C-alpha cells in the first residue's frame, strides 16, 4: 500500500530559497513568528508590513504558500463563496473568471499576493513547526523547526482547522495492497482510468471530485455514511461587461464584495433557527427531487437532519454523476478492508484496487496544539482536552502568553467567508502589537475569567441553533457534543468585538529597566 498521507504536489519554484534560508536562521530572535502561509499567515504578513512591522518570519512546512488551496488539488476543487468575498479586502483581484474561484485560480491568487506585497523574503519554506515552548522568565517563545531554532516575543498560529487529514480507523485499511490516499493528498501520478475505485465519504470534497473521476474510472463504489443536503450552485462565468466594470470602475469590486457579505448575513439569521432553516431546506429538497427521479435512490440520498446543521454543500454535477451505470451507492457500514476488497456489515465483498478517502480533517483535534507548550509546561492539546477547545474572542488562550490563533476555536462560519473572520482577527493582533509597543509590554495573557465569560456567552448563543441540533453529528462538534467550531451569529458582531484589543481582559508583563518582567493586571 502506498502512503495515505503523501504530501500533495506543489510548485517547486521556491526550493532554492528554502535551502538558502535554512542555513542562517538558527536562534535568531524575532518580534513575531507566524506559522503557516495560507490565507491566515499570508494575510498576517502583508498587514504587518503595511503597518511598518518587519521583524518577523513566516514558517511554512511546504515549499510554496497557499495552505488549503495548495494542498487540496484534487479534481474539481473549488470554493463555494463568491470570489470577491473569498479574497482579501486589501488585495483585490478584478480578474476572477467566474462567480466561485477554482483551486488553481485561488492558489495563483495567494502566490500573486505574496509577490505583490513583497512577503516572500520573510517566508522560510521547508520549516515545519516541531515545538514552541513559552519561556516565562525571558518572556519569549522558543521555536523549534525542522530547519533550525528561533525565539520570538509573539507567536501567531495560522495553521487553520482544515489542514490535517482525518484518516478513518477502519480495520484492515493498513493492509490494503492497492493504492489509498486522502483527497487532500491527491495522487496525480496515479491514473484512475479504468480502475475499480472506492470513495469513502460524501462530504464537501467528494461532491467535487466524484463527478470529475466518474467518467474515467471503470467502476466506482461510493460509501456513504450520512447523506448531505446539496443545493444548486449558481456559478457563472464573468462576462465581458462585468470584467470591464471590475477593471475600470473604481469602487465596483468593493460594492460587489460588500453586497455579498451583507447578503450572507441573512443566512446567519436563518441558521440560528431550525424552524426557519426547515423552510430554506425546501430548496435543497427540490434540487434532489428534480435531479434524482428514482424514488428509492432519492430516499437513500435524503438526510434525516435539518439542513445546515452540517456544512452546506452546492453542486450541479453530483447527482447526475452518482446515477451513472458505473457507480454504486453503498450505505451499509464498512466492516473491514482486505488486501484487494472492502467488506460491509451485511457481508458483501467488493473488489477494489484504489481507495480515495474523502473523510475530512481533524477540525476539533488540531495537531498543532500538541506542539505548543505554554506557561507552567502546559501543552495546549492537554488543556483543550481537559477543559474543551476554547479561546478568548477565538484568538487568545489563558496560560499561553503572546500566543494568537488565527481561525481559532469558534471562528468557523456556516454562512459566509472565512476571510472576513481572518481579517478581523489580524486587526485584533495588530492592535495588540501596537499596544504592546506603546505600553512597553513584554507579554499579554488573557485572564481565565475573561475567557470563560466569553465562551459561556458564546455557547449560550449556540443553544437552540441548527448547528447544535440534537439529531445531527457533524465535524463542528467534539466527542462530548460541544460545539467548539461555529461562530453562531453575524460576522459584523465578530468584527466589532475584535476591533479593539482590550488590555483590561489581560494579565500584563512589563520590563522595568534591566530587571525581570513584572506581572500585573491592566
Residue 10 lies inside a defined structural domain of this protein = no
The confidence score (pLDDT) of residue 522 equals 53
pLDDT at 507 over 90: yes
**Does some domain include residue 5?**
no
| Domain finish residue from 357, 388, 417 | 357
Element (DSSP H or E) covering residue 106:
helix 103-116
Note whether 144 and 29 are same-domain residues: yes
Which residues form the domain of 510?
Answer: 15-164+362-521
Helix or strand or coil: residue 305? coil
Q: Are residues 270 and 203 in the same domain?
A: yes
Which CATH number covers residue 387? 3.50.50.60
327 in a structural domain: yes
Task: Answer yes or no: do 351 and 390 share one domain.
Answer: no
Residues 329 and 379 in one domain: no
Pairing verdict, β 341-344 and 78-82: unpaired
**Residue 424 maps to a domain:** yes
Residue 166 pLDDT exceeds 50 = yes
Question: So what's the pLDDT on residue 163?
Answer: 76
How is residue 331 written as a grid cell?
450505505
Asked whether residue 1 is domain-assigned, the answer is: no
Q: How far apart are CA 91 and CA 107, in angstroms?
A: 14
Helices (H) and strands (E) in the chain, counts: 14, 23
Q: Is residue 4 part of a domain?
A: no
- Please tell me whether residues 333 and 409 are part of one structural domain: no
- What pairing do the DSSP bridges indicate for beta strands 100-102 and 28-35? unpaired
pLDDT for 7 equals 47
Rounded distance between C-alpha atoms, residue 212 and residue 65, angstroms: 26
Per-residue pLDDT, 78: 97
**33 vs 109: CA distance, rounded Å:** 23
pLDDT tens string 74-108 = 999 999 999 999 999 999 999 999 999 999 999 99
Quote the pLDDT of residue 12. 34
pTM (whole model) above 0.85:
yes
For the segment 379-389, the average pLDDT, to the nearest whole number, is 95
80 & 190 share domain = no
Binned at pLDDT 50, 70 and 90, residue 516 comes out as: very low
Distance CA 462, CA 509 (A): 34
pLDDT bin (cut points 50, 70, 90) of residue 311 is confident
106 and 190 both lie in a single domain: no
Look at residue 9 and tell me if it is in a domain: no
Q: How far apart are CA 411 and CA 109, in angstroms?
A: 23
Q: Are 56 and 179 contained in the same domain?
A: no
Shared-domain flag, residues 146 and 195: no
Order the strands of the 349-351 sheet from edge to edge.
334-338, 341-344, 349-351
Give pLDDT tens digits for 316-357: 999 999 999 999 999 999 999 999 999 999 999 999 999 999
Same domain, 151 and 224: no
Q: pLDDT digit string (tens) for 132-153?
A: 999 999 999 999 999 999 999 9
Residue finishing a domain among 309, 340, 357: 357
- Least Cα distance to 202 among 321, 54, 295, 95 occurs for 321
Does 259 fall in a domain? yes
Query: Pick from 188, 246, 190, 198: which is nearest to 221 by CA?
Result: 198
pLDDT over threshold 60, residue 25: no
Most confident of 11-15, 207-211, 463-467: 207-211
How many domains are there within the chain?
2
Percent of all residues in the chain with a pLDDT value above 70, rounded to a whole number? 91
- Co-location of 159 and 49 in the same domain: yes
Q: Furthest-apart CA pair in the chain: how many Å?
A: 78
Under the banding of pLDDT at 50, 70 and 90, the label for residue 161 is confident
What pLDDT was estimated at residue 252?
94
pLDDT tens digits for range 211-257: 999 999 999 999 999 999 999 999 999 999 999 999 999 999 999 99
Same domain, yes or no: 479 and 502: yes
Among the three residues 306, 335, 357, which one is the final residue of a domain in this structure? Answer: 357
Amino acid at each position: 500500500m502506498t502512503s495515505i498521507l503523501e504530501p500533495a504536489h506543489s510548485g517547486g519554484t521556491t526550493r532554492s530559497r528554502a535551502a538558502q534560508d535554512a542555513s542562517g536562521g538558527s536562534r535568531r530572535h524575532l518580534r513575531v513568528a507566524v506559522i503557516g502561509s495560507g490565507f491566515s499567515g499570508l494575510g498576517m504578513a502583508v498587514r504587518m508590513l503595511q503597518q511598518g512591522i518587519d521583524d518577523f518570519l513566516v514558517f511554512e512546512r511546504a515549499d510554496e504558500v497557499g495552505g488549503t488551496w495548495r494542498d487540496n488539488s484534487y479534481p474539481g476543487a473549488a470554493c463555494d463563496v463568491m470570489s470577491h468575498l473569498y479574497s482579501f479586502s486589501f488585495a483585490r483581484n478584478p480578474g476572477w473568471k467566474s462567480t466561485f474561484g477554482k483551486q488553481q485560480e485561488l492558489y495563483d491568487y495567494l502566490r500573486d499576493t505574496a509577490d505583490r506585497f513583497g512577503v516572500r523574503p520573510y517566508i522560510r519554506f521547508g520549516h515545519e513547526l516541531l515545538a514552541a515552548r513559552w519561556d516565562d522568565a525571558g518572556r519569549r517563545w522558543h521555536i523549534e523547526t525542522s530547519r533550525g531554532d528561533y525565539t520570538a516575543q509573539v507567536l501567531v498560529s495560522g495553521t487553520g482547522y482544515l489542514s490535517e487529514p482525518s484518516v478513518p480507523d477502519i480495520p484492515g485499511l493498513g493492509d490494503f495492497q492497492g493504492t489509498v490516499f486522502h483527497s487532500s493528498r491527491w495522487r496525480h501520478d496515479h491514473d484512475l482510468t479504468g480502475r475499480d475505485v472506492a470513495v469513502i465519504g460524501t462530504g464537501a470534497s467528494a461532491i467535487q471530485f466524484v463527478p470529475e473521476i466518474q467518467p474515467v474510472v471503470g467502476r466506482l463504489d461510493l460509501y456513504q455514511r450520512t447523506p448531505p443536503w446539496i443545493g444548486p450552485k449558481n456559478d457563472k462565468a464573468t462576462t465581458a461587461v462585468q470584467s470591464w466594470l471590475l477593471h475600470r470602475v473604481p469602487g465596483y469590486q468593493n460594492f460587489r464584495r460588500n453586497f455579498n457579505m451583507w447578503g450572507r448575513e441573512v443566512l446567519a439569521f436563518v441558521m440560528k433557527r431550525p424552524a426557519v432553516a426547515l423552510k430554506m431546506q425546501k430548496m435543497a429538497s427540490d434540487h434532489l427531487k428534480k435531479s434524482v427521479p428514482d424514488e428509492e435512490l432519492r430516499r437513500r440520498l435524503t438526510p434525516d437532519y435539518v439542513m445546515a446543521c452540517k456544512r452546506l454543500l452546492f453542486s450541479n454535477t453530483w447527482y447526475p454523476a452518482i446515477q451513472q451505470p458505473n457507480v454504486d451507492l453503498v450505505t451499509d457500514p464498512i466492516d473491514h478492508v482486505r488486501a484487494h476488497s472492502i467488506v460491509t456489515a451485511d457481508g458483501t465483498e467488493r473488489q477494489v484496487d484504489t481507495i480515495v478517502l474523502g473523510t475530512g480533517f481533524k477540525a476539533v483535534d488540531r495537531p498543532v496544539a500538541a506542539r505548543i507548550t505554554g506557561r507552567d509546561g502546559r501543552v495546549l492539546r492537554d488543556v483543550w482536552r481537559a477543559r474543551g477547545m476554547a479561546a478568548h474572542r477565538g484568538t487568545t488562550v489563558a496560560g499561553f502568553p503572546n500566543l494568537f490563533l488565527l481561525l481559532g476555536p469558534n471562528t468557523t462560519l456556516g454562512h459566509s467567508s472565512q476571510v472576513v473572520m481572518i481579517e478581523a482577527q489580524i486587526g485584533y493582533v495588530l492592535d495588540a502589537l501596537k499596544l504592546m509597543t506603546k505600553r512597553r509590554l513584554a507579554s499579554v495573557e488573557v485572564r481565565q475569567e475573561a475567557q470563560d465569560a466569553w465562551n459561556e456567552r458564546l455557547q449560550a448563543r449556540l443553544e437552540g441553533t441548527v448547528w447544535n441540533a440534537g439529531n445531527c453529528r457533524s465535524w463542528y462538534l467534539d466527542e462530548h457534543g460541544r460545539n467548539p467550531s461555529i461562530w453562531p451569529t453575524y460576522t459584523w458582531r465578530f468584527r466589532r468585538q475584535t476591533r479593539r484589543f482590550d488590555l483590561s481582559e489581560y494579565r500584563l508583563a512589563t520590563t522595568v529597566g534591566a530587571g525581570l518582567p513584572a506581572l500585573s493586571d491592566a
